[in-house]
């Protein structure tokens, strides 16, 4: 299942951990593959170091009011945490 679709299924600690496992596998699948002309890896990763990953996740949280502006409910949820990590992958 693609990460964006798996993200939609996160609703508790077990599905959150499954999402994080798949996110890790997705990143590992890019090993030894060159980035494209835009700096994206083979699986679409924009951020290749942990520092860049966390910076992007934080930037997404700041810019979206931690998901509220994207329709995620106010308050903490497992899906919100998963979205935070996913945006570390793709947010510029």
The C-alpha atoms of residue 83 and residue 9 are separated, in whole angstroms, by 11
Question: pLDDT above 70 covers what percent of the chain?
Answer: 97
Nearest by Cα to 80 from 11, 27, 23, 22: 11
pLDDT, one tens digit per residue, over 57-67 is 899 889 998 88
State mean pLDDT over 71-88.
Answer: 79
Residue 89 predicted with pLDDT over 80: yes
């Amino acid at each position: 299942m693609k990460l964006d679709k798996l993200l939609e299924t996160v609703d508790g600690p077990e599905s959150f951990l499954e999402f994080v496992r798949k996110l890790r596998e997705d990143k590992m699948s890019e090993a030894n593959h060159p980035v494209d002309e835009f700096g994206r890896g083979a699986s679409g990763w924009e951020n290749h170091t942990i520092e860049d990953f966390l910076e992007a996740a934080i930037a997404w949280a700041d810019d979206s009011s931690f998901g509220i502006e994207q329709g995620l409910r106010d308050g903490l949820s497992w899906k919100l945490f998963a979205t935070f990590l996913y945006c570390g992958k793709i947010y510029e």
